[in-house]
Structure 1
């Protein structure tokens, strides 16, 4: 049996390792554009040069899994065509290409490895007193602004957003605002409409122009179009429609997991990708062994936000991902976030991972 896993992020890596353990004898190939496993939840650390975020996939993938470096161009009938013209045949396919960023011209995206590399190099070249603008009030933008402000106190850091931390409770949101202010991050409410050619200044919907030596785009709102251009049924956002077992509604041989899957109620995060990757692998193992697949179910516990290396906010939520009033802040939240990052990486590498089921 030939199994191909496209993408070696959290979902793809745990799926491949779980398959190697639960479907003995299968020929498992992981296709990934780069030879490293990238901890996307730590990309803000890479940008600020405050931590390592990449590890060789040869150390992350277990015995029985073959790594093929390359990019999938199109999914056909039992075949994945690569950008270089070669192809991989499959009996079963796992699509785990994640999400991506479409930045505004003149900005550097910070939600991808390539963008983070560019941002890291540009940041390192800035002289003291330079202005860095981070666009986006979600957790990606918040963590990046805080990390840069802590690592480079000689720079002036600004965060521009319509709203700050909308996924958190009111109390947690206020805590984030207070901590960012204490770190020297200037928070500006508004929408960036363009980056002015030549000057690099950002123009807001109010008409105001703010000087900026480096503008980082922290809004991740799209997915690669692999599924769509391959003819798989997708939703309006381009995410592949899947059944209750995480199989494409267009082809039961294909499992779609992680950010690129249209799973109702799912939040784009490693907390979502890990259970989906593990469950999809378990379902294929059930099918191979003549058993019926089981419906996917998961419940959330909260969101962890790092604010530099020594501070953070831990938001507690219900299983359906609606937030509670309870949150924790400070050092305990920072340590919890670090622990979460380590646990998910360990889980991806070992295929040992457990999660709460969703609310019945």
Structure 2
């Protein structure tokens, strides 16, 4: 059985390792644009110089799995074609290309490896008193602004978003804002309409009419899916995610499993806590098929959200299985330790294929 895995993030890596563990004679090839496994949950640390987000992919994959650096251009009838013209046949394929950013002109995206490296280089060139603006009030923006403020207290760090921490409970949002204030982060609740240029600096203009100078402007919003599925003729939803059946297979090609951010799974949030269960379950289903058994429907429930506020502070928000938040949250150093544990477990699960999750709400 020839299996191709397109993308080596959390979903693709755990899918490859789990299948290799359960179907040892499967021929598995992982195709990834870079030779590293990138922990997206640590990209803010990569930017600030407080941690590392990349690990050689060879050390993440089980023996016997082939890895290939390249970018897939199209997926055809049982064959993938790479941008360099090479092609590879498959019996089954895992599509795990994740999500990406479409940054506003004049900004640097922090949710991709390339953008994070560009942001890290830009940060190193800044002097005391320079301003860094982070656009995006979600957890990615909050973690980025917090990490930068903690690592570079000599800079003026500003976080701009139409709403800040909207996915959290009211009490948790207040706690996040208090944590940002303690770090010296200026919080601006408004919408950025343009990032222009003036004498080498960027001028950020807001919907309210306000504007300010920013030496480095970072885009912390992930809202786009790579175009591979569209180019390949797979059926998608309005957001560009691949429509899948209850077993995580493409609705118009049962040989293709779509997992992670690029899969249109109802109620799924874009995060590693979603990607890993999907990758693992899809691999389990292919193992069942290889053994002549029926695949099982996918089910997954959430427990909460975790975020860091620098290295010594954080917040863990409790939620119901359907991802609606509860009033309960913990914050402070204990939450920072918990967030670090979550990040380590996500990487451990991808590498070892040992991963457990709770079933979804009934």
Q: Is TM more than 0.5 here?
A: yes
**CA distance in structure 1 between the aligned counterparts of 2:360 and 2:63, rounded to whole angstroms:** 32
- Alpha-carbon displacement from aligned partner over 1:288-319 (angstroms, at most 9, x marks no partner): 11110000000100000100011001000000
Of the candidates 277, 280, 290, which is equivalent to residue 278 of structure 1? Answer: 280
Q: Which residue of 1 aligns with 2:347?
A: 345
How far is the alpha carbon of 1:140 from its aligned partner? 0.3
Q: Which residue of 2 aligns with 1:81?
A: 81
Runs of 5+ consecutive residues of structure 2 not aligned to the other structure: none
Q: Which residue of 2 aligns with 1:114?
A: 114
- Alpha-carbon displacement from aligned partner over 1:145-186 (angstroms, at most 9, x marks no partner): 000000000000000111000100000000000010110000
Q: Which residue of 1 aligns with 2:40?
A: 40
Of the candidates 185, 204, 216, which is equivalent to residue 202 of structure 1? Answer: 204
For 1:354, what is the secondary structure of its paired residue?
coil
For 1:31, what is the secondary structure of its paired residue?
strand
Runs of 5+ consecutive residues of structure 1 not aligned to the other structure: none
Structure 1 stretch displaced more, 302-311 or 198-207: 198-207
How far is the alpha carbon of 1:37 from its aligned partner? 0.4
**How is 1:36-185 mapped onto 2 (pairs within 5 angstroms)?**
36-185=36-185
**CA distance in structure 2 between the aligned counterparts of 1:23 and 1:266, rounded to whole angstroms:** 28
Over the residues paired in the alignment, what is the CA RMSD in angstroms? 0.6
**CA distance in structure 1 between the aligned counterparts of 2:197 and 2:334, rounded to whole angstroms:** 44
TM-score (norm: length of structure 2): 0.99
Of the candidates 194, 216, 219, which is equivalent to residue 218 of structure 2? Answer: 216
Of the candidates 237, 250, 257, which is equivalent to residue 235 of structure 1? Answer: 237
For 1:68, what is the secondary structure of its paired residue?
strand
Q: Which residue of 1 aligns with 2:331?
A: 329
**CA distance in structure 2 between the aligned counterparts of 1:226 and 1:36, rounded to whole angstroms:** 20
- Alpha-carbon displacement from aligned partner over 1:242-262 (angstroms, at most 9, x marks no partner): 000000001000000000000
Q: Which residue of 1 aligns with 2:260?
A: 258
**CA distance in structure 2 between the aligned counterparts of 1:119 and 1:127, rounded to whole angstroms:** 15
Q: Which residue of 1 aligns with 2:358?
A: 356
**How is 1:241-320 mapped onto 2 (pairs within 5 angstroms)?**
241-320=243-322
**CA distance in structure 2 between the aligned counterparts of 1:261 and 1:126, rounded to whole angstroms:** 39
**CA distance in structure 2 between the aligned counterparts of 1:306 and 1:222, rounded to whole angstroms:** 24
Structure 1 stretch displaced more, 190-199 or 328-337: 190-199
Structure 1 stretch displaced more, 269-278 or 195-204: 195-204
**CA distance in structure 2 between the aligned counterparts of 1:140 and 1:359, rounded to whole angstroms:** 26
**CA distance in structure 1 between the aligned counterparts of 2:69 and 2:16, rounded to whole angstroms:** 15
How far is the alpha carbon of 1:134 from its aligned partner? 0.3
For 1:341, what is the secondary structure of its paired residue?
helix
- Alpha-carbon displacement from aligned partner over 1:175-203 (angstroms, at most 9, x marks no partner): 00001011000001111011113341100
Q: Which residue of 2 aligns with 1:225?
A: 227
**CA distance in structure 1 between the aligned counterparts of 2:172 and 2:197, rounded to whole angstroms:** 37
